[in-house]
Structure 1
Amino acid sequence: MLKKNSFLFSIVLIILCIAFNNTVGQNKGKQGKLFIIGGGHKPASMINKMIDAAGLHSGGYAVVLPMSSEEPWPSTIDIQEQFAEAGFKRIYGVMFKKSDLSDKTKLDSVANAKFIFISGGDQSRFMDLVAGSKLETAIHTAFENGTTIAGTSAGAAMMSEIMITGNQLKDTAYNATFKTIVPDNIETRKGLGLIKNAIIDQHFVIRSRHNRLLSAILQYPDMQGIGIDESTAILVDGGNVEVVGLSQVLVFSNPGNTQKVVNGKYGARGLTLDIYLPGEKFKLGK
């Protein structure tokens, strides 16, 4: 199976090289969009919205970066099948390991894609591989040249400059949510930084991650906290955000940059919460 995948991947790279030669500069001039999915099932309407947002029906190709996942090829095949059902088949898996982070053919295939999809899994696994590499540069180059970049679950969390890892520093037993709102408990690290002024959380309503995101905006009071539920996404175009999918997006802000700590617990005043439904829009940033 691995040999078969390697052979198919070689064919894909040839195809992408041809596509690269035909589409250099296709995205120049305008920063791309972000399609950030809270995880879970992706309804057909969401897949169609991604394809339309990226303008894929008018040409170009898409790549999947599955390195967050423990099972990268099944993750790739899943999104390929969903795109195929929507009538788009030019979507290819591009798997990187440490040994090929400088592979020019692979890097060019990413930098010149019209759409990049980052799978779910473990956001730290992806950033451990990609941070500071030529691949990270290629992703940013694509975005600055107009590529739409999407991510689900872990792929959503890493869109932020400040990325939630999911780990707690004080209660080291993993829980899907936090049991407390206390300082110095939320573990963060540098994400891809495609969003500078907000922190993204995912699987939000269904896993009751309110305490986690509240902890984040108290620890980082200049940041907006955006919690995206499953089967739901935000489409970010510049500073404009549209909710897509089936559920809700919760947005926390700390406009007064307030916080205090008493007996090891956070307190604050004037925090705001907005709950957005599919089709509704808001502005990115406080």
Structure 2
Amino acid sequence: MNKLINMSIKGKLIIVGGGINTAENIPSHLPKEEALNDFFYQNGILKKIIEESKLKENSRIEIITTASQSPKLAAESYIKAFKLLSATNVAHLDINTRVDALHPDSLARLDEANVVLFSGGDQLRLTSTIGGTPFQQKLLQKYYHEDFIYAGTSAGAAAASSSMIYQGASNDALLKGAVEMNSGLGLIDSIIVDTHFIQRGRIGRLFQAVTGNPMKIGIGLSEDTGLIISDNNNKMTAIGSGSVIL
């Protein structure tokens, strides 16, 4: 893994603070011309993921819901939303156990993917299921060597970095040990990500996390808001409808 960290990066990270607009509240009877003017279609995060991907609407997109307590419902929501945006090749890659992360079919599907989207939920469940498996290794290899997108929302965003916050309330953040951290999936080493940042008042715990890891940049992402990190991690572009705090 150390060799990977020192190499140039061909892939992109798209990390989101949760609460992605999936257009579930858009009435089905809305005329197409009006719907196309909606933020979801023109500037929404899922639209940006498609635009940034290698094959655009034809990219193979795998939804990974390991962190979620309702994996099928979460996957169905994203699949429906991507299809509304004319994506033609979207599926649910269901990894609930470490055995799933070892299965040849799971590895083959990851190998063919242009985009993976990791859903929200419990980031510790995500990293403890995938961390240290061939699935994680292949994920890193694709990110470093291919025109590939790792997209993560909420737990999926927090888990993207080498060091992740997984527990702790902001109002207790100044108490020793109140903010708990663990190893993430290791796609990027220089940041610590906190999600639902504005909505849940998490500035205190991000301060504490950065104080304990002073070589890291703390990034707070509000809901339906994200960053595209590209060009060997030297470029960040804000997307979505809210605020990004560095």
TM-score bracket, shorter-length normalisation: 0.7 to 0.9
TM-superposed CA distance for 1:58, in Å, is 6.4
| Alignment check: 8 A CA contact 1:182 1:215 kept | no
Write the mapping of 1:104-119 to structure 2, written as runs, cut at 5 A: 104-119=104-119
- Residue 63 (structure 1) aligns with: 62
Write the mapping of 1:25-174 to structure 2, written as runs, cut at 5 A: 31-42=10-21, 44=40, 45-57=44-56, 59-96=58-95, 97-144=97-144, 145-166=146-167, 168=168
TM-superposed CA distance for 1:89, in Å, is 2.7
- Residue 199 (structure 2) aligns with: 206
Question: How far apart, CA to CA, are the structure 1 residues paired with 2:9 and 2:221?
Answer: 26
2:245 equivalent to 1:250: yes
TM-superposed CA distance for 1:105, in Å, is 2.2
**Greater relative contact order (CA < 8 Å, ≥ 6 in sequence):** 2
Instruction: Structure 2: state its 5+ residue gaps.
Output: 1-7, 22-38
| Alignment check: 8 A CA contact 1:183 1:215 kept | no
TM-score by length of 1: 0.71
TM-superposed CA distance for 1:30, in Å, is 5.6
* Percentage of pairs with the same residue: 27
Which has more radius of gyration?
A: 1
Question: How far apart, CA to CA, are the structure 2 residues paired with 1:57 and 1:197?
Answer: 29
Aligned residues: CA RMSD: 1.6
Question: How far apart, CA to CA, are the structure 2 residues paired with 1:206 and 1:212?
Answer: 14
**1:53-87 alpha-carbon deviations (Å, 9 max, x no partner):** 11332643111111100111111111111100101
Q: 1:235 aligns with which of 217, 224, 228?
A: 228
Question: How far apart, CA to CA, are the structure 2 residues paired with 1:70 and 1:184?
Answer: 26
Instruction: Structure 1: state its 5+ residue gaps.
Output: 1-28, 169-174, 252-286
TM-score by length of 2: 0.83
Letter of the aligned partner of 1:250 in structure 2?
I
Write the mapping of 1:255-270 to structure 2, written as runs, cut at 5 A: none
| Alignment check: 8 A CA contact 1:108 1:138 kept | no
| Alignment check: 8 A CA contact 1:183 1:219 kept | no
